[in-house]
């Protein structure tokens, strides 16, 4: 059955040139051009039927090239294949799927094969061109090369588009985390990524232990967060050796089913898989509204990561609100410096230096001030731990086993961790 006639669409410029007098065979060529347009129109309607069709202009001059291949047996020239590749790039830019673009070319090819006698003007008498078998082989070879060129052009365009989108995403994340850009521009740039800047967002950092953050975890991590939160409003990238996740605040989908609760728990569940390596330390900033709220949450998460590293905290997920007491300690650095100097600096006079006694205090407070548990943590005898605690009280004048003095010693130990003492000198300015 022939393609129905209808309004002509541009399927590439006709191969007949203008002139005052029509050359011999001009009528056949005009009829052939009309047939090509009909084939292109029908193929465009057939390809991507569910998507409303595909623009037949994406065929370009392909049908004319295919006709010449059937009539003469010639192979397509490099410039003609390059034109098909450009059509593939154009299809990607228009949002046409790769499958629909290929379907357009295949549909046009088999429709053209039925129309070849009318297109070439050989409806009667023997054809001067190649045999049917030779013509079919030439058509198939031309189609094969064209589809390959179409796919190459489409793939190259998609790769460029992905790179451009990744660049835009990374620049947006950098500007959001800095918080020093134009708010109106940030809101406009965030919209294509589905971000509603009027809603509260929070930032989480995932820091691998002793190695740079692997780019391979980004895709899986983003899918896990999106699935858990139930919103596309998620950005994932790497920055300063850490994985950064910007996500809307709120409970997770999996909480009611006994799954991870919160952004940090979602990330930990994904990164704790054996294939992801271990361990990962995750810190989560508090949720704040607006574009500047993202920068504030990021600073909280980064500060929490610094504190967790200095304090050698073992918890895999740390929230900024859980570390507020340490921020209070650091806020008045001269005061905490004086406390460390007054309470703990005398441990420097101990044989072997202050490190063993500080480790004992760390384990003692972590064990809930239970001597037997402290001994188990340090792989020491209870008597050895008791001796060390007595030695600390003797050197410092503050007894960690005395409930009235315990808080002072504990605060001093935390301050020493935050200041890096004794491995770093205390800041100047203390008495």
Q: Who has greater pLDDT, 410 or 3? A: 410
Backbone angles phi, psi at 141, to 5 degrees: -65, -40
In this predicted structure, the answer to whether residue 390 has a pLDDT above a threshold of 80 is: yes
Radius of gyration of the chain from its Cα atoms, rounded to whole angstroms: 36
Q: How many CB atoms lie within 10 A of CB 47?
A: 26
Tokens 């006694």 correspond to what residue?
357
In this predicted structure, the answer to whether residue 234 has a pLDDT above a threshold of 60 is: yes
Look at residue 260 in the predicted model and tell me its pLDDT.
57
| pLDDT tens profile 202-225 | 999 998 875 555 667 787 888 888
Q: Indicate the helix (H) or strand (E) that contains 214.
A: none
Give the model's confidence band at 26: pLDDT under 50 very low, under 70 low, under 90 confident, else very high.
Answer: very low
Look at residue 252 in the predicted model and tell me its pLDDT.
59
Domains of the chain: 26-122+129-161 (no CATH), 197-321 (3.30.70.270), 332-419 (1.10.10.2840)
| pLDDT tens profile 331-374 | 788 888 999 999 999 999 998 899 999 999 999 998 999 999 99
Reported as half-sphere exposure (CB side, CA atoms, 13 A), residue 335 has a value of 7
Q: How many CB atoms lie within 10 A of CB 198?
A: 9
List C-alpha distances in Å: 23 to 17, 109, 244.
Answer: 10, 28, 70
* Average pLDDT value over all residues in the chain: 79
Give CA–CA dist 150/59, Å, rounded.
10
Give CA–CA dist 218/242, Å, rounded.
11
Asked if 170 contacts 237 with a C-beta cutoff of 8 angstroms, the reply is yes
Give CA–CA dist 12/78, Å, rounded.
17
């Amino acid at each position: 059955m022939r393609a129905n006639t209808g309004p002509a669409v541009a399927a590439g410029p006709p191969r007949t040139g203008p002139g005052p007098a029509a050359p011999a065979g001009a009528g056949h060529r005009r009829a052939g051009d009309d047939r090509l347009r009909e084939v292109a129109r029908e193929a465009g309607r057939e390809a991507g039927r569910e998507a409303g069709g595909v623009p037949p202009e994406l065929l370009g001059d392909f049908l004319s090239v295919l006709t010449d291949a059937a009539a003469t047996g010639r192979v397509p020239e490099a410039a003609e294949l390059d034109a098909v590749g450009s059509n593939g790039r154009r299809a990607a830019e228009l949002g046409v799927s790769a499958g629909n673009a290929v379907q357009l070319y295949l549909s046009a090819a088999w429709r053209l094969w039925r129309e070849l006698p009318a297109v070439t003007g050989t409806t009667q008498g023997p054809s001067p061109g190649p045999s049917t078998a030779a013509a079919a082989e030439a058509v198939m070879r031309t189609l094969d090369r064209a589809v390959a060129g179409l796919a190459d052009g489409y793939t190259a365009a998609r790769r460029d588009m992905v790179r451009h989108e990744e660049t835009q995403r990374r620049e947006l994340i950098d500007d959001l985390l800095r918080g020093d850009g134009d708010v109106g521009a940030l809101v406009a740039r965030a919209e294509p990524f589905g971000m509603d800047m009027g809603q509260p967002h929070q930032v989480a950092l995932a820091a691998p232990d002793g190695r740079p953050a692997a780019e391979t975890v980004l895709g899986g991590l983003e899918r896990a967060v999106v699935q858990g939160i139930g919103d596309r409003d998620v950005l994932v990238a790497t920055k300063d050796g850490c994985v950064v996740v910007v996500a809307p605040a709120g409970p997770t989908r999996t909480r009611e089913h006994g799954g991870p609760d919160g952004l940090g728990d979602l990330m930990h569940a994904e990164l704790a898989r054996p294939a992801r390596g271990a361990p990962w330390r995750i810190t989560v900033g508090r949720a704040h509204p607006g574009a500047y709220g993202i920068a504030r949450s990021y600073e909280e998460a980064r500060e929490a990561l610094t504190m967790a590293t200095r304090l050698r905290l073992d918890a895999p997920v740390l929230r900024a609100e859980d570390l507020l007491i340490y921020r209070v300690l650091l806020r008045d650095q001269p005061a905490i410096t004086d406390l460390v100097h007054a309470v703990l600096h005398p441990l420097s006079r101990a044989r072997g230096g202050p490190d063993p006694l500080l480790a004992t205090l760390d384990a003692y407070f972590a064990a809930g001030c239970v001597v037997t548990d402290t001994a188990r943590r340090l792989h020491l005898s209870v008597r050895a731990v008791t001796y060390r605690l007595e030695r600390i009280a003797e050197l410092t004048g503050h007894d960690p086993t005395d409930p009235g003095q315990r808080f002072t010693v504990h605060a001093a130990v935390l301050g020493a961790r935050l200041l890096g003492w004794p491995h770093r000198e205390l800041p100047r300015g203390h008495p």
